[in-house]
Chains A and B, each alone.
Chain A
Amino acid sequence: METIQPIAGENEQHPDVALVARVRDGDVSAYDTLVRKYERQIFRIAQHITQNREDAEDVMQDAFLKAYEKLDQFQGNSKFYTWLVRIAVNESLMRLRKRRTGKMVSIDEDVETEEGSVPRDLADWAPDPEQNYTQSELAEILRKTIQGLPQGFRIVFVLRDVEGLSTEETADTLGLSIPAVKSRLLRARLQLRERLSRYFRRKKGGEK
């Protein structure tokens, strides 16, 4: 068996402290640098939560504006990035609430499901299974699959596995306990694996 390599690691320390200090001293160009550095990630997180392009655009703008306004409240005991992510997650959830008026929207939605907690599809995948699809087909498969996850699992998976936050940072950002993050992460990973198996499983001889 090949050596097991870790694929999720702690973020390295970001040198944002100096940039934040410059912004506080009135240097707007330092904020320009921070926005450039994180705008893609914030857009992606907003899109994952709202699942709507226009909402994600609005959330991205509102999150950066709110962070700029509230920069004095940033304590510096968390990273600027995780503080910004927390603002973006809250903005995204607020946007969802507006869209679904009267319907509760929270990260606790639908997490009671037992689906995917035990692996059922045990067929092995083709080697490099993504090679069987074009880039756009693959993106569509990945979008469709992750969109089917319960909200509370999806956010944890996105922050922890896609955006690389640590378990502690994810818990802190979402206001969840560490065991809750861990349990949702395992379920999210297993559910995604199960759903992707449909596309990536090794085909029997003769098939593509």
Chain B
Amino acid sequence: MTCSEFLALLDDLIDDSVNTETRTELERHLHGCEHCEVTFNTTRKTIEIYRSHEIYELPTSLRERLHAAIMARCKKGC
């Protein structure tokens, strides 16, 4: 397997949507290719970081104000 072939299947590997046979091939390539291993690990980490950190917080006071405004208008029939 070449690095381009590995890259084409990178997302499927990250999302765990490859069959056992392809997974074995991808893992074999990873063991022998430092560049692809770094790309794989750091891409996975990228997603994890964005998932686990709230970058646009909705402060409670604002949340309550917006919530109240939405519900007040819904009760009036919008």
Interface residues of A (CB under 8 A from B): 1, 4-9, 28, 31-32, 35-36, 39-40, 43-44, 47-48, 56-57, 60-61, 64-65, 68-69, 118-119, 122-125, 129-130, 138-139, 142-143, 146, 157, 161-162, 182, 185-186, 189-190, 192-193, 196-197, 200
A and B contact pairs by CB, cutoff 8 A, 24 listed: A7-B15, A7-B44, A7-B48, A8-B16, A28-B74, A43-B58, A43-B66, A57-B62, A57-B66, A60-B66, A60-B70, A68-B74, A68-B78, A119-B7, A124-B38, A125-B45, A130-B53, A143-B56, A161-B51, A182-B11, A190-B43, A192-B46, A193-B43, A200-B42
Q: Establish whether residues B38 and A189, one from each chain, have CB atoms under 8 Å apart when the complex forms.
A: no
With A4-B27, A32-B71 in contact, do A124 and B58 touch (Cβ < 8 Å)? no
Please pick, from A8, A65, A119, the residue contacting B15 in the complex, using a CB distance under 8 A.
A8
Interface residues of B (CB under 8 A from A): 7, 10-11, 13-16, 23, 27, 30-31, 34-35, 37-39, 41-51, 53-56, 58, 62-63, 66-67, 69-71, 73-75, 78
Q: Establish whether residues B49 and A142, one from each chain, have CB atoms under 8 Å apart when the complex forms.
A: yes
User: Which residues of chain B are near A4, meaning CB under 8 Å?
Assistant: 13, 16, 23, 27
Measured in the bound complex, the distance between the Cα atoms of B63 and A44 in whole Å is 12
Measured in the bound complex, the distance between the Cα atoms of B54 and A47 in whole Å is 12
Query: Min CB distance, A139 to chain B, in Å?
Result: 5
User: Which residues of chain B are near A65, meaning CB under 8 Å?
Assistant: 70, 73-74, 78
Instruction: For the complex of A and B, list the 3 residue pairs with the smallest distance between their C-beta atoms, beginning with the closest.
Output: A6-B16, A47-B56, A193-B46
Please pick, from B10, B27, B67, B78, the residue contacting A36 in the complex, using a CB distance under 8 A.
B67
User: Which residues of chain B are near A190, meaning CB under 8 Å?
Assistant: 39, 43
Q: Establish whether residues A146 and B66, one from each chain, have CB atoms under 8 Å apart when the complex forms.
A: no
Q: Establish whether residues A7 and B14, one from each chain, have CB atoms under 8 Å apart when the complex forms.
A: yes
User: Which residues of chain A are near B11, meaning CB under 8 Å?
Assistant: 182, 185-186, 189
Measured in the bound complex, the distance between the Cα atoms of B43 and A4 in whole Å is 13
User: Which residues of chain A are near B44, meaning CB under 8 Å?
Assistant: 7
Q: Establish whether residues A143 and B55, one from each chain, have CB atoms under 8 Å apart when the complex forms.
A: yes
Measured in the bound complex, the distance between the Cα atoms of B51 and A190 in whole Å is 16
Q: Establish whether residues A40 and B58, one from each chain, have CB atoms under 8 Å apart when the complex forms.
A: yes
Q: Establish whether residues A125 and B42, one from each chain, have CB atoms under 8 Å apart when the complex forms.
A: yes
